[in-house]
Chain A
Amino acid sequence: MISFVIRRLLSSIPVLVGILLVTFALARLSPGDPCTALLGEHATPQICEQFIARYGLDQPILTQLGIFLRDVARFDFGDSIRYQRPVALMLVERLPMTIELSFSALTLAVLIGIPAGIIAAMRHNSATDVTTMVAANVGVSMPVFWLGLMLAYVFGLLLRDTPLWLPPSGRISAGLTAVPFYQVYGLGMGRSSPLYNVFEFFSNLYIFNSIITGNFRVLWDTLRHLILPSMALSTIPMAIIARMTRSSLLEVLGREYIRAARAKGVPRAAVVFKHALRNALLPVVTIIGLSLGSLLGGAVLTETIFGLAGVGRALFEAITSRDYPIIQAFTLVIAVGYVIVNLLVDISYTFLDPRVRLE
């Protein structure tokens, strides 16, 4: 088990190195210099010279790479060129939003997708099965941004003045503030404190923060704001999970040992849930890990539509304005996160399927 984990960890090192190189190269490959892209018409040659010298863009490319790797090792991502603020701080402010969004979308996708797949498989070829699969097919075909806008229109405008109304944008209602837990509990600290970023990160996870500070009004409000974006973001993974669960369960249900269990007189429900499901869920777990990538891509669109200040939107803005430090740091965090999640998925196999350990 441990040797499997170590082997798997080692095998992701080349990919991580590749990610570092690509992240570094992507920003440098851009034609046009960041100076004119950022400063626009204010960019006189003198100002640009100062600008380039300040951000080390005049150094040889290998020196730049060296500086980049050293800074990554220190978790020092420099200052955003556009916002003139430490990138680490922006990450701490924006990452929690995206984590909350992706996590709630994935939860929704799993909670609806897996049961839908199971029901469809158990009633193979019935009307329920066909309806579920039609819905799943439509689900994977809808553009996230279109669904998001239509949901905002229906729940934000058409259902106004009804109990079903949901806020179509923002993360929290105006007038409400999520007071950071470290202030509530008197753990006041300056920005210079090394723990500041860690505390700030957790306090920006509004759900977590409002639960531990007992502020249930904020919790309720945050959750309501999360519903529409999560619905928009969850449809594609939900549809994929439902389809995967169904086909995988159908395949397992056709195996000999299932027939044997049925022949012994094990009730059908017990066969499905105890004997078949555990084996059928293996490919589903893989798909859940992989769908995180599409979730993060979808987060750019969802955050744009619902006016949420998350990592996806920030990265998109940084890419279009060539804000190198943000591009590097955010891409790195996202890609590394993706690799780690897939690592966890692989490790989870060892719990779901003992055969993996023995290989």
Chain B
Amino acid sequence: MTVSPLDSLDLISPEATRLASKPTSLGRITLRRLIRRRSALVGLTLLGVLSATAVFAPWIAPYHPEQVLIGIETVERREAPCIHLLGCPEDRPQHLMGIDGNVRDEFSRVVYGSRFSLAIGFTSVGFAIVIGTFFGALAGYLGGWVDNVIMRVMDVLLAFPALLLAIAIVAVLGPGLINALLAIGIVTIPAYARVMRASVLSVKEANFVAASRALGASMMRILFRSVLPNAMTPLIVLGTLEIASAILSAAALSFLGLGAQPPTPEWGSMLSTERNQVFTAPHLVFFPGLAITLTVLGFNLLGDGLRDAFDPRLAVKGEAPRA
């Protein structure tokens, strides 16, 4: 048996073989780029913890979020946190985030609150994406007066500060979590309409669109099968970032008493109920707010990471120095 000199040279590294054998789809490249960015990884971790908390809330939370502890334990209204590890006497019941104004365990309420914040983010943005992309696609594809009318309406919506418009819409619809979500969805629509319109404008002249038109595809089929998949990238990035601001806006609406109503364990509403006690029981303001901040931060970091990962102009490692 002859040994080829090439074998010992090890020209083909295992890494190269592995890379050559695997097809690299855009999704795979993006994922690989995403997890190489530290900030995106932090974002993913935050959101992972949050999702796990939301899913396993009944196992994590020591109490039911609406359970009043009067007569069950010897605790007082708005009692400060009692953590055994930090020197709170062992004979006292442990309450990681203290007791709220209605003698409920604050930690359990914050844990259950994660369910609301995720639901709020995804539903309001989902609503805005569906409506916004539809109108944006229509405007971009049809052009002419349809485009003009749709985009002028969007301009008017954008002329109002988002939160004020949302407040006004909730005032019309009546306070409540669902209406608050609807309001946030409505004020977010113009962003998607604009992005979608721009994408459609850039894709619709492409040869493959002309080809499906020549094959007799209907307008809706062309829009949804040919144009939309090619316009997804900016929508995903915008969507992630908009979830962050939707959660902030929903919390603000709840804070103003227009969103989730007590006793719902929603962070903004929890903060709002106790805001006048900030000098005497700061923990009841601090923890829900911290939860909101971390959640929003998670979505912001992930959104930024996705934007960079999808952008083919930015190389991953050994990035060319830009300055």
Q: Which residues of A contact B (CB under 8 A)?
A: 14-15, 18-19, 22, 26, 29-31, 121-122, 124, 133, 137-138, 140-147, 149-150, 152-153, 156-157, 250-251, 253-254, 292-298, 300-301, 304-305, 312, 315-316, 319-320, 322, 327, 331, 334-335, 338-339
A185 to chain B, nearest CB (A): 37
Instruction: Find out whether the CB atom of B322 lies under 8 angstroms from the CB atom of A124.
Output: yes
**Across the interface, which residues of A come within 8 angstroms of B161, CB to CB?**
292-297, 334, 338
Contact of A331 with B152 at beta-carbon distance under 8 Å, contacts A141-B244, A253-B322 already known: no
**Whole-angstrom CA separation of A295 from B156 in the bound complex:** 18
A319 touches B300 (CB 8 A): no
A19 to B171 CA separation, bound complex (whole angstroms): 18
Chain B, residues 250-288, CB within 8 Å of chain A (1/0): the string is: 011001111000000000100100010011001001101
Are the C-beta atoms of A316 and B162 separated by less than 8 Å?
no
> Which residues of chain A have C-beta atoms less than 8 A from B34's C-beta?
none
Residues of B within 8 A of A31 (CB): 172, 174
Collect the chain B residues with CB atoms within 8 Å of residue A142's CB.
Answer: 289, 293, 296
Partner of A300 from B164, B289, B297, B304 at Cβ < 8 Å: B164
CB distance from B110 to the nearest CB of A (A): 13
Can you offer 18 A-B residue contacts whose CB atoms are under 8 A? A18-B152, A29-B172, A124-B322, A137-B39, A141-B300, A143-B248, A149-B275, A150-B285, A150-B286, A153-B279, A254-B322, A292-B161, A293-B162, A300-B163, A301-B163, A334-B161, A335-B160, A338-B161
> Given A31-B174, A124-B323, A143 and B275 touching (CB < 8 A)?
no
A138 and B293 contact, CB distance less than 8 A? yes
Cβ A26 vs Cβ B168 within 8 A: yes
CB–CB A294/B162 < 8 A: yes
A339 touches B172 (CB 8 A): no
Taking the nearest CB of chain A, how far is it from the CB of B178, in angstroms?
15
Chain B positions 10-63 with a Cβ under 8 Å from a chain A Cβ: 39
Residues from chain B with Cβ under 8 Å of A339 in the complex: 159
Q: Name the B residues within 8 Å of A253 (CB-CB).
A: 322-323
Question: How distant is the Cα of A253 from the Cα of B321 in the complex, in angstroms?
Answer: 10
> Looking at the complex, which one of A146, A301, A319 makes contact with B171 (CB distance below 8 Å)?
A319
B162 surroundings in chain A (CB, below 8 A): 293-294, 297
Question: Which residues of A sit under 8 angstroms from B167, Cβ to Cβ?
Answer: 300, 315-316, 319
CB <8 Å contact, B293 and A144: no
Answer yes or no: B153 CB below 8 A from chain A CBs: yes
A124 to B323, CA, bound (A): 8
CA A59 to CA B129, docked complex, whole Å: 39
Contacts of B168 in A (CB 8 A): 26, 319, 327, 331
Q: Which residues of A contact B294 (CB under 8 A)?
A: 141
B88 to chain A, nearest CB (A): 22
- For residue B77, give the distance in angstroms from its CB to the closest CB of chain A: 19
A residues less than 8 Å from B193 (CB atoms): none
User: How far is the CB of A149 from the nearest CB of chain B, in Å?
Assistant: 5
- Shortest A11–chain B CB gap in Å is 10
Q: Is B292 an interface residue (CB 8 A)?
A: yes
| CB closest residue in chain B, given A145 | B255
Q: Sort A-B residue pairs by CB-CB distance and give the 10 closest, nearest first.
A: A297-B163, A146-B289, A18-B156, A141-B297, A141-B296, A293-B161, A253-B323, A319-B171, A296-B161, A297-B161
Q: Are A296 and B252 in contact (CB under 8 A)?
A: no
Taking A19-B156, A145-B255 as contacts, is the C-beta distance between A30 and B296 under 8 angstroms?
no
With known contacts A153-B279, A338-B159, A145–B252 Cβ distance under 8 A? yes
Task: Determine the chain B residues whose CB is within 8 A of the CB of A140 once the complex forms.
Answer: 244, 296, 300
| A149 near B289: Cβ-Cβ < 8 Å | yes
* B301, CB-defined interface residue at 8 Å: yes
Whether the pair B300, A149 counts as a contact (CB closer than 8 A) is no
A57 to B200, CA, bound (A): 45
Q: Write the chain B residue with the least CB distance to A318.
A: B171
Min CB–CB distance B97 → chain A (angstroms): 15
Contact with A along B304-323 (1 / 0, CB 8 A): 10000000000000000111
The answer to whether B289 and A141 have CB atoms under 8 Å apart is: no
A35-B155 Cα distance, complex, nearest whole Å: 33
Tell me the bound Cα distance from A31 to B174 in angstroms: 9
